[in-house]
Amino acid sequence: MKLVCIFFIVSSFVVDSYSQLVVRGGQSPTTNGTNQKTELTKLDQASIRCHYQFVQKDKTGQLQTDTMTLDIGAQMSEYYDMTRQKQDSLYSAYFSKIDPSTISSVSVLKGKSALEYENRGGNTYTSGRPKESARLLKNRQTGEIIIIDYLSTVPDKYRFTETIPPQAWQIAADTATILGYHCQKATATFRGRNYEAWFSPEIPVNDGPWKFFGLPGLILKVSDTDEIFSFVCVGMENLILPRDITMSQEKYINCSRDELAKIKRQQGGETRISNNSGAIVIAQIDAKDDYHSLELE
């Protein structure tokens, strides 16, 4: 009985956010094996999808690379890690189908023991670094940005909303070509860092990766002058079937930007869960404060 209870705690952590969905607007619900229903509110419909290579240099000088997606609608956009979403969905489906009666043992590894977790067999779920976990919903007309994020150790979702004006860009005469598009240079200071951006007037969309927007064309590249962060568009597509940008009507822990940053720093690295023929192993990898913050103010 104890093993079964532990398993349900583990599986609820993995599958919590992937319950049955009901979308306002007549779309069919999707099912993943639970009886819960979560209603989605349609905010906009994206017709353009951009893929950005996000590179950040950690405090040891090593480069960490993620591929981020920006889905752009008429008024709003969604910025997220598509790979992380797919990974979480696949493993939530996997763990939801495990029969608790097949579990032979549950082990929790911490500290040095967790480091021995490498090279273990079985199916493994990893949550935490290096993948980006936050979703940004940006309203270009109002400047409102909703950030939804979660930790690697608990199923709770955190949310905060901020309203920021477009960056005070200074457009320069410099030009470049990115993905075959003619681009112009612009510079701005945002929350303690100086940025250089390249935008294309040929794509008349006032948007860009992360929290960047406010130029007369889509931002295809932006990097800070300290060469710690860079966002480079590596692919773009017109969606034949537009994708709904939605907001899940579930319970969130409302917080401020500073509170979420503090919580993320204290989350304890990443959690890895494996199932090897019924032997469940949960490894809690200690956090390393190796990453710089995009926002200094």
How far are the Cα atoms of 27, 118, 150, 175, 236 from residue 182, in angstroms, in the given order? 39, 46, 38, 7, 15
Q: What mean pLDDT comes out for the span 9-16?
A: 41
Distance in angstroms between the alpha carbons of the first and the last residue of the chain: 50
Convert the pLDDT of each residue in 145-179 to its tens digit. Answer: 999 987 655 667 899 999 999 999 999 999 999 99
**pLDDT over 80 (residue 269):** no
**pLDDT over 90 (residue 291):** no
Instruction: Name the pLDDT band for 60 (thresholds 50, 70, 90).
Output: confident
Structure tokens at 23: 């979308």
8, containing H or E segment: helix 2-15
> Which own/partner contact pairs does 181-188 have at CB distance under 8 Å and 24+ positions apart?
181/220, 183/217, 183/220, 183/221, 184/217, 186/215
**pLDDT over 80 (residue 102):** yes
pLDDT of residue 59: 86
Convert the pLDDT of each residue in 69-94 to its tens digit. Answer: 999 999 999 999 977 665 555 555 55
Domain ranges across the chain: 2-285
Of the candidates 11, 28, 10, the one whose C-alpha atom is nearest the C-alpha of residue 93 is 11
Question: In angstroms, rounded to a whole number, what is the distance separating the alpha carbons of residues 182 and 202?
Answer: 7
Instruction: Name the pLDDT band for 130 (thresholds 50, 70, 90).
Output: very low
- Provide the 8-state DSSP code for 153: S
Convert the pLDDT of each residue in 16-58 to its tens digit. Answer: 433 333 344 444 344 444 445 668 899 999 999 999 999 999 8
**pLDDT over 80 (residue 275):** no
